[in-house]
Amino acid sequence: MFAPEALYISVAILTVAFLIRRRRRASSLPLPPGPRGWPLIDNLFDWPFESAWIPFAAWSKVFGDIIHLKIFGLHIVIISSYDTATSLMTQASYSDRPILTMVGKLMNFTPSIVLAPYGDHWKSMRRITQQSLNRSSSLAFLPSQLGDARLLLQELLVHPENYIGAIRYALGKNIIENTYGIRITSPSSEYVKLSRETHEVIQNAVVPGSFFVDVFPALRFIPEWFPGAGFKRLARIAKARGEHMVDGAFDAAKKAMASEDSMVSLVGNLLSSEGPKEMTREEYEYTIKWAAGSLYGAPPDLPYLICSSKTTSGIATFLLTMVLFPDVQKKVQAELDAVVGRKRLPTFEDRASLPYLEATIKESLRFHPPTPLGIAHRLIEDDVVQGYHIPKGAIILPNIWAMNMNEKQYEHPERFNPERYLGPSPALESPVFGFGRRACLGVHYSTAAIFITVASILSVFDLRAQDKDGKDVEIEPAFTGGKQMMVTCLSNRQTELTIPPFPPHSRSHPKPFPCRLISRSPESIELIKAGTSML
């Protein structure tokens, strides 16, 4: 007679046997190839200090698309192939993040979406954020994005030299308003200031080598009064500011909902709904608070909290390419003039009729991605890939920059050529928004922001490679690079990072470059001045 118990037991035994065998088999296989290290310190001295994506790309030509490095026992795997990254990083086992000590544990930012480990809290935050940021829901943000682009033009008319600061403020204002429904009226508004102040203390904390706890996570247990334990004091201040920022903005959003001129916001919409049945109201509000806190902010260089910074980097690279390649700029403007004309400013309705501009945006993101090494994932269990053993706990870094420079994928990848995205068989879009279950949640929102910002600027301004006196200057394009990466990995050897796996400098943006914004005509100036009243 058939006994179901016997079947269950047999299946369980076979599964365990399979897993043990797989594990044994996996660990008997070779690790992926990579530079040969030294005893004990492994590849410590191989680790590139500057713009690591470039030497990693050169190694991939020698070792192949999967490179292995080890630093004090920590396995790091760098993937340079789009197909391999896509097939691996969509799997649940590749969807964890490294655990952080200073920023995550001591400063308490682990509950944010970007840092949260793969698990229930992260899944709930991701689900509710996706509800508001998916393709159709993000259409609700377009009117405010258009309004902020018009305000930006007015600011650029008065202070054209501060174009990066003005763009950063416009994007940050828009995120805070849409997330919390709190009205932001100037760069000195409370929640912009709070975000900047939190940023200041965290920024100090992530400077590599400043704190031994970066390298020895166990030091976090020493008391604050102990000589040399200044980092504990800093962590305490950052934690308090972070809590004030995340909790304070959440409470302000609740108050804003009750006010007469309340704005539609992500937090407001979520709080108005019941939430999932399996969650208590308290759990649901905690999830909303951290989901919102993860999107919050205006200042740059805080990629683990501040999403608008990557959009600013993307726009800065676009503007750089416009001054580097004036012929492309002329073509973009010719298209804008043909579709929008010179008597009004662009709107989102024009987007589908501006394929050359869309192609130029895609090409500038490919030309230099805002996060050339993505954001690190962490492997939850042993795996075998192309006959190599990838050990549990390995840090997985996708080399997006190398993928964008792959000759097999892109003809003359070093050339800036928007045409590759036009025609019947356009090139592959660069994976700048990351991979799999952890892929960027802001893709629709941020591509809309990039479109309306650059379309608005180019319809009324010419961008020239000139100094402030109007003298033409040669531009040698240069991008910020990633000094922190080694400290990141050092401190992560116990899978507890103090420096994030995506430290400030893993976000890369153009180094300051001369760029003069000159209004295209007297009519352009009138359009800018009338811009917001025409909405």
**Minimum distance of ligand HEM from residue 116's CB (angstroms):** 7
Question: Residue 101 or residue 371: which is nearer to ligand HEM going by CB?
Answer: 371
Question: Residue 157 or residue 443: which is nearer to ligand HEM going by CB?
Answer: 443
Which of 103, 238, 375, 499 touches ligand HEM (CB under 6 A)? 375
DSSP assignment of 110-178 equals TTSTTTS-SSHHHHHHHHHHHHHHSTTGGGGGHHHHHHHHHHHHHHHHH-GGGHHHHHHHHHHHHHHHH
- Which amino acid is present at 305? L
Question: Residue 76 or residue 307: which is nearer to ligand HEM going by CB?
Answer: 307
Is there binding between residue 332 and ligand HEM (CB under 6 A)?
no
Tokens of 57: 């790309």
Residue 216 contacts residue 266 (beta carbons within 8 Å): no
Residue 395 contacts residue 489 (beta carbons within 8 Å): yes
- Our separate counts of H helices and E strands in the chain read 17, 10
Which of 195, 360, 417, 446 touches ligand HEM (CB under 6 A)? 446
Beta strands in 169-328 (DSSP E): none
Is there binding between residue 432 and ligand HEM (CB under 6 A)?
yes
**Minimum distance of ligand HEM from residue 224's CB (angstroms):** 31
226 contacts: CB under 8 Å, gap ≥ 6: none
Which of 311, 321, 364, 519 touches ligand HEM (CB under 6 A)? 311
From 531, 140, 112, 84, select the one nearest 346 (Cα to Cα).
531
**Minimum distance of ligand HEM from residue 33's CB (angstroms):** 24
Window of 7-15, 349-357, 371-379, 475-483 that interacts with ligand HEM by CB under 6 A: 371-379
Question: Residue 192 or residue 213: which is nearer to ligand HEM going by CB?
Answer: 192
- Inter-axis angle of helices 443-460 and 522-530, to 10 degrees? 140
Which of 74, 100, 339, 441 touches ligand HEM (CB under 6 A)? 441
Within 13 Å and on the Cβ side, how many CA atoms surround 414? 2
Window of 212-220, 281-289, 431-439, 471-479 that interacts with ligand HEM by CB under 6 A: 431-439
Question: Residue 88 or residue 517: which is nearer to ligand HEM going by CB?
Answer: 88
Window of 216-224, 241-249, 320-328, 437-445 that interacts with ligand HEM by CB under 6 A: 437-445
Question: Residue 313 or residue 524: which is nearer to ligand HEM going by CB?
Answer: 313
Is there binding between residue 310 and ligand HEM (CB under 6 A)?
yes
From the number of C-beta atoms within 10 Å of its C-beta (0-12, 13-18, 19+), residue 354 rates as: buried
Q: Is the dihedral of CA 216, 222, 228, 233 positive or negative?
A: positive
Window of 159-167, 253-261, 433-441, 489-497 that interacts with ligand HEM by CB under 6 A: 433-441
* Rounded-to-integer distance, Cα 317 and Cα 237, Å: 34
Window of 45-53, 330-338, 367-375, 385-393 that interacts with ligand HEM by CB under 6 A: 367-375
Tokens of 90: 């969509």
Task: Count the neighbouring beta carbons within 10 Å of the beta carbon of residue 273.
Answer: 11
- Which amino acid is present at 80? S
Window of 36-44, 147-155, 157-165, 435-443 that interacts with ligand HEM by CB under 6 A: 435-443
Is there binding between residue 448 and ligand HEM (CB under 6 A)?
no
- Which amino acid is present at 532? T
From 504, 404, 317, select the one nearest 56 (Cα to Cα).
404
Question: Residue 213 or residue 458: which is nearer to ligand HEM going by CB?
Answer: 458
Please tell me whether 307 is known to bind a ligand: no
Which of 284, 367, 433, 461 touches ligand HEM (CB under 6 A)? 433
Give the x/- contact pattern for ligand HEM in 276-295, rule: CB under 6 A.
Answer: ------------------xx
Question: Residue 119 or residue 423: which is nearer to ligand HEM going by CB?
Answer: 119
Q: Is the dihedral of CA 18, 19, 22, 27 positive or negative?
A: negative
**Minimum distance of ligand HEM from residue 443's CB (angstroms):** 7
Phi, psi at 227, each rounded to 5°:
-55, 135
497 contacts: CB under 8 Å, gap ≥ 6: 98, 99, 100, 101, 103, 104, 488, 491
Residue 358 contacts residue 451 (beta carbons within 8 Å): yes
**Minimum distance of ligand HEM from residue 330's CB (angstroms):** 25
Return the residues of window 113-132 that contact ligand HEM according to CB under 6 A: 113-114, 126
Which of 53, 191, 401, 435 touches ligand HEM (CB under 6 A)? 435
Which of 34, 98, 242, 314 touches ligand HEM (CB under 6 A)? 314
H-helix segments, 29-74:
53-63
Which residues does the annotation place in the binding site?
A: 440
Which residues does the annotation place in the binding site for heme?
A: 440
Q: Tell me which residues touch ligand HEM (CB under 6 A).
A: 113-114, 126, 294-295, 307-308, 310-311, 314, 370-371, 374-375, 377, 432-435, 438-442, 445-446
